[in-house]
Amino acid sequence: MRLEKHHYFYLFVGFLFLGVVSVNLFSDGMFMDGLFYAAIARNMAHGLGSFWQPHLSQTLFSEFYEHPPLALGLQSVAFRVFGDSIYVERLYSLFTYLSMGSLMVLIWGKITNDRKRGWIALFLLLTIGGLPWAVANNVLENTMGVFTCLSVWLILGSLENGRRFRVVLAGLSLSMGLLAKGFFCLYIWDVPFFLWLFRRQSGFRRMAADTGILVGSTLLPIAFLYGFLPAAQNNMNHYFSEQVVNSILNVQTVSTRFAIIGKFLHNILPPLVLGSIAVAAALRQGRDKKVLQANRRIALMFLAIVLSGVLPIMISLKQSGFYILTVYPLFALGLACYLDPVLGPWIDGFRPEARGFGIFKKVTAGVVVAAVSLALLQIGRVGRDKETVADCRAVIDHVGEGAVVNICPDMYDEWGLHGYFSRYGKVSLDPDLKNPRRYFLAVDGCCRSHLAQKYSPVDIATTKYKLYRR
């Protein structure tokens, strides 16, 4: 098959993305939250816990209601199909971003009526801070981002020939977003309003009706599940009271409500700098300033949608940068739309038969080879928490899968340790010294008198932790 010019740009961006994320994505070791989610999904695949009652371990989150269960359930399907390898959750996470990227190109096509330059938005997304980290660490926002992008694409499609059924589908997609990570996806409800405000492709009544349909088709499936499935009702009640209400009223992770704004601005700085350089270069070449106004309203529309996803986070002092991950594809699309009239003539002038494009094709081939090689080199490599990962695997090999092991009470809040033991071997860590187990895991200087009375050391190769047996 003969590749067109734009295919090379897509290949370049796609494999550049793979190269950027592969070092952390395909090496062993993971951020605590993503580790928990992978362990819970694997447990669910093996019949430990259920969709509405997920399970991490016997001693920590035996019933996990910290987040809605859909992303965990979808990942559990991947474990059922592909087995227990650590690459299952990693490839699942990568798949969510491939899906988001595909949907971004479809959205670009709806906005510009041409998908050939959709790679500009993908390249800008790649430069946003925090995105490579999110891909590698299996956060729930990865799954939710697929549903938010799908909803936006469906809403845009509904404007063609009055196909309101797509608005219903967009609402159903947001229902799944709700069940993946909660209320963070509901800013998409604002999309019909901002489409009307900035593009005026439909009247006010149509916008109001579409918004009502979107909200209703989002909430009705949730209401049905809540009303007719007791297990779903129990899950939602726990999530709302323990995670939502408690987080707003009692949990503080930042010193100011504006922290999320600072994080957002920090993450979008790289694409803004690149965009500014492109604009400055175009103006220096004598490009008319009016060209910058061509897609201004579209860019402002996307910016308004993005801000409607960021600003509500300020309600709570429990904030984290990955809460707003789903807005970045839309930000990249908005910025790409703004820059397209500037970059378009340059890209169009990059002729396939030119020597420069031949060099670019060779560079693209080099990026493909380098990215694939870099990914393959990570197989078997531990990227983070090296001592913990090695010790966990050695201990699990000795105590066996599904064991319950005592630990020093002071070690109980080493959440990553719980995650690794659960993910690698379904092993639970019990800090209750009044409930003695066959094995005891400790660090040097921990619970010395207790260990001296009842336990003897096990001779296995560990570095950070020591295993004892009764």
- Tell me: the pLDDT tens digits for 374-431? 999 999 999 999 999 999 999 999 999 999 999 999 999 999 999 999 999 999 999 9
CA distance between the termini of the chain = 66
22 vs 201, more confident: 22
| Best CA proximity match to 378, nearest among 19, 26, 1 | 26
349 vs 236, more confident: 236
pLDDT at 162 over 70: no
Q: Specify the pLDDT at position 251.
A: 87
- Helices marked H in 229-258: 230-238, 246-250
pLDDT at 161 over 90: no
pLDDT at 241 over 90: yes
Q: What is the pLDDT of residues 73-94, one digit of tens each?
A: 999 999 999 999 999 999 999 9
User: What residue spans define the domains of the chain?
Assistant: 31-349, 386-469
Q: Specify the pLDDT at position 95.
A: 98
Question: Are 18 and 371 in contact, with CB atoms under 8 Å apart?
Answer: yes
Torsion of CA 396, 402, 403, 407, to 10 degrees: 80
Q: Specify the pLDDT at position 1.
A: 64
> What is the helix (H) or strand (E) element at residue 368, kind and residue range?
helix 355-377
Beta-carbon contacts of 295 under 8 Å, excluding residues fewer than 6 positions away, are 337, 338, 340, 341
Q: What is the pLDDT of residues 15-66, one digit of tens each?
A: 999 999 999 999 999 999 999 999 999 999 999 999 999 999 999 999 999 9
Q: Specify the pLDDT at position 175.
A: 98
pLDDT at 286 over 80: no
Q: What percent of the chain has pLDDT over 70?
A: 99
Q: Specify the pLDDT at position 293.
A: 87
Mean pLDDT for 211-239 is 98
**How many Å apart are CA 36 and CA 77, to the nearest integer?**
16
**Rg of the chain, C-alpha, whole Å:** 25
pLDDT at 185 over 80: yes
Q: What is the pLDDT of residues 338-378, one digit of tens each?
A: 999 999 888 888 888 888 889 999 999 999 999 999 999 99
Mean pLDDT for 197-220 is 94
Q: Specify the pLDDT at position 445.
A: 87
Mean pLDDT for 186-213 is 94
> What is the helix (H) or strand (E) element at residue 440, kind and residue range?
strand 439-442
Q: Specify the pLDDT at position 15.
A: 98
Q: Specify the pLDDT at position 352.
A: 81
- The number of helix segments (H) and strand segments (E) in the chain equals 19, 5
Mean pLDDT for 153-159 is 94
In which band, very low, low, confident or very high, does the pLDDT at 107 lie, cut at 50, 70 and 90? very high
47: left (phi > 0), else alpha (psi -120 to 50), else beta? left
